[in-house]
Amino acid sequence: MDLLEFVRGCTFDDFLLTPQCGVLPRRDPHLVDLSARFSRRIVLRRPIVSANMDTVTRAAMAIVLAEEGGLGIVDRGFRSGDIGPQIAEIATVKRTQHGVIADPHSIAETQTVDEARRLMMRTRVGTLAVVDDHRRLRGLLTERDVRFVPAGVAVEARMTPRARLVVHEGPVALPDAERIMVERKVKKLPLVAADGTLIGLITAKDLIKQARHPFATRDGRGRLRVGAAVGATGDYLERAVEVVRAGADVIVIDIAHGHSLVMERALRDVRSRCPDVDIVAGNVATGEGARFLLDRGADAIKVGIGPGGGCSTRLTTNFGVPQVEALVRCRQAIGEAVPLIADGGIRRDGALAQALLFGGDTVMLGSAFAGTDEAPGEIVQKSVVVPESQKVVQVPFKVFRGMASIGAVRDRLDIEDSEPGEVEAIGAEGIEVSVPARGSARTVIHDMLKHLCSAISYGGATSLAELQRSFQADPARYLVKLSGAGRTESFQR
Ligand code: XMP
């Protein structure tokens, strides 16, 4: 079968998949391998990424995504040159969980309990390492040690001295640390070098958090991973350097038309300043576009021109490629060289499975997450007429907007510095809509994963990778192209 010819002009709702003989014993996301390559060096246990949009991904969303095994990309929807707010979001995610705290907050034994209390409050940390001038461990000081103690008392008088602590010399694997802490009945395990210098701290609280989220996406230090978006003009280079310094695990150079000379320059510049971090580039929708980004060193490619729920690019420019055709074109052009991110247009969980079969290694979702508690923005009550009874009821909604919508662009522009004409005629390529509020993103993700496991079962496979392999090897076995009536029967409810 010539897959590209078969899918020309088509998108998700044009197809069903033929059920195969089921071999999966249980459709349980805890038991089915759903892992996927996100970029050259990052593997996710769940193939789900939240979109870098200012009504979708800030720290709260990125934390849930990473805890659940996916990844959040914090948007760049802040004013040009104003990098601090994006850094703060990245830092919040990186502070949420630790395996080993590599650089614990510390205090000297000669300082006062009052100073310790202020440091604890400012850093929101409950345990300080007490160190000497050479950063050698002298003791630990906890919130409890300083409670109700007069301000001027010295730290030395209240700390638990090193001699009474359980201390580990050298680095340690987390399971070994856990064993030591259980055996010795301690909640904190400081790590020191041979000369007594403090090199890390492990806390029971962090180990418990790690165990609670067994599929979480973590970096080498046990912290949650997070991505950060930058543009290709303006402050992009400074922003890229700063987000990496703040701990971002991947940079996403995200512009509407990624197959372009501005992207070429941005990729080259960001790569030269941030050589050690994966760089995702996009968006493209053609084989030539994907090849262009691959040849210029992208570590993953974001695919999708105009399928998104907040997009109006196709309406305003008439350019774009139906998303299934775009995915097939890109996959055929670059093979397995780097992963593809299927970005936009996934409005039902069935389309999520399709996106992963037609070429996406992972999927990026915007509108699907926009109504959740973790998405930025307030809930607004709107009056809605119930068709059956004609009664008016109040329904909670949240705002979702394309990043090229008038509102989003205006918020990014520094209105005082812009030309009046610039503010009036923005040339928007996005829209603003309200989406129903739908509870926690965690529940939405769990639902998606269950449905994905069911799709794997219907597809006759035991893992996501196996289903992708058997689809790619013989797409004709799976693909049903729908008639108008078939589509109505399938998707209209
Ligand atoms: P969904 O369908 O999941 O898509 O909401 C999310 C993706 O939509 C893209 N996006 C835009 N595309 N104009 C566009 O043409 C816009 O204003 C816009 N804002 C977001 C983006 O790729 C996102 O991940």
- The per-residue pLDDT for range 80-98, each reduced to its tens digit, is 778 999 999 999 999 888 8
For residue range 435-451, list pLDDT tens digits in order: 999 999 999 999 999 99
Q: Return the residue whose CA atom lies nearest to atom 12 of ligand 1.
A: 311
Per-residue confidence (pLDDT) for residue 102, from 0 to 100:
85
Percent share of the chain, pLDDT over 90: 84
pLDDT for position 426: 66
- Determine whether 412 is an active site residue: yes
**DSSP-assigned states of every residue in 195-206:** TSBEEEEEEHHH
Q: Which residue, by CA, sits nearest to atom 24 of ligand 1? A: 51
User: Is residue 161 pLDDT above 60, yes or no?
Assistant: yes
What distance in Å separates the CA atoms of residue 481 and residue 483, rounded to the nearest whole number?
Answer: 7
Q: Please, which residues have CB within 8 angstroms of residue 60's CB and are 6 or more apart in sequence?
A: 373, 374, 376
Q: Ligand 1: distance of its center to the CA of 408 in Å? A: 12
pLDDT band at 412 (very low <50, low <70, confident <90, very high): confident
Question: Domain-by-domain residue ranges, the chain?
Answer: 3-97+216-374+441-491, 106-207
pLDDT value for 407: 83
At 414 the pLDDT is: 56
Could you tell me the CA-to-CA distances from 253 to 20, 44, 77, 243, 300 in Å, in that order?
39, 20, 13, 12, 10
The pLDDT of residue 55: 95
pLDDT score for 97: 85
Q: Which of 10, 311, 330, 453 is catalytic?
A: 311
What is the mean predicted confidence (pLDDT) over 261-285?
Answer: 98
306 CA → ligand 1 middle, Å: 7
Amino acid identity, residue 240? Answer: A
Render 215-233 in DSSP notation, one character per residue: T--B-TTSPBP-EEEE-SS
Distance 333 CA to ligand 1 centre (A): 23
Cα distance between residue 398 and residue 380, in whole Å? 6
pTM metric for this prediction: 0.90
Q: Tens of pLDDT along 202-242?
A: 999 889 988 899 999 999 888 999 999 999 999 999 999 99
pLDDT bin (cut points 50, 70, 90) of residue 331 is very high
Q: Are strands 250-254 and 278-284 parallel, antiparallel or unpaired?
A: parallel
CA–CA distance, 60 with 354 (Å, rounded to integer): 28
d(CA 489, CA 429): 32
pLDDT at residue 421, rounded to an integer: 60
Q: What does CATH list as the number for 3-97+216-374+441-491?
A: 3.20.20.70
The pLDDT assigned to 319 comes to 97
Residue % of the chain over a pLDDT of 70: 97
pLDDT value for 291: 98
The residue to mutate among 11, 52, 53, having the most atoms of ligand 1 within 8 angstroms of its beta carbon, is: 53
pLDDT at 327 over 80: yes
Q: Distances from the Cα of 304 to the Cαs of 70, 197, 281, 301, 363, in angstroms?
A: 19, 51, 12, 10, 11
Q: If you average pLDDT over residues 136-165, what whole number do you get?
A: 96
pLDDT reported for residue 225? 98
Give residues (CB < 6 A) around ligand 1. 51, 53, 256, 283, 304, 306, 308-311, 313, 343-346, 364-368, 402-405, 429-430
Categorize the per-residue pLDDT at 295 as very low, low, confident or very high, splitting at 50, 70 and 90.
Answer: very high
What separation in Å is there between the alpha carbon of 53 and the centre of ligand 1? 8
DSSP calls for 389-441: T--EEEEEEEEEE-TTSHHHHHHHS-TTTS-HHHHH-----B-EEEEE--S-H
Rg (CA), the chain: 25
CA dihedral over 378, 212, 191, 62, signed as positive or negative: negative
pLDDT value at residue 79:
78
pLDDT for res 345: 97
Q: What is the mean pLDDT of residues 339-366?
A: 98
Q: Which of 3.40.50.150, 3.40.50.720, 3.40.50.2300, 3.10.580.10 is the CATH number of 106-207? A: 3.10.580.10
Q: Measuring from atom 20 of ligand 1, which residue has the nearest CA?
A: 402
Any idea how long the chain is? 493
Among residues 265, 270, 264, 268, the alpha carbon closest in space to that of 284 is found at 264
Q: For residue 422, what pLDDT is reported?
A: 57
Give the pLDDT confidence score for residue 420 in this predicted structure.
58
Residue 124 confidence (pLDDT): 85
Pocket test for ligand 1, best of 303, 311, 321 (most atoms within 8 A of CB): 311
For residue 415, the one-letter residue type is: I
State yes or no: pLDDT of 419 exceeds 90: no
Determine the 3-state secondary structure of 164 from DSSP: helix
Distance from Cα 213 to the centre of ligand 1, integer Å: 29
At residue 218, the pLDDT reads: 95
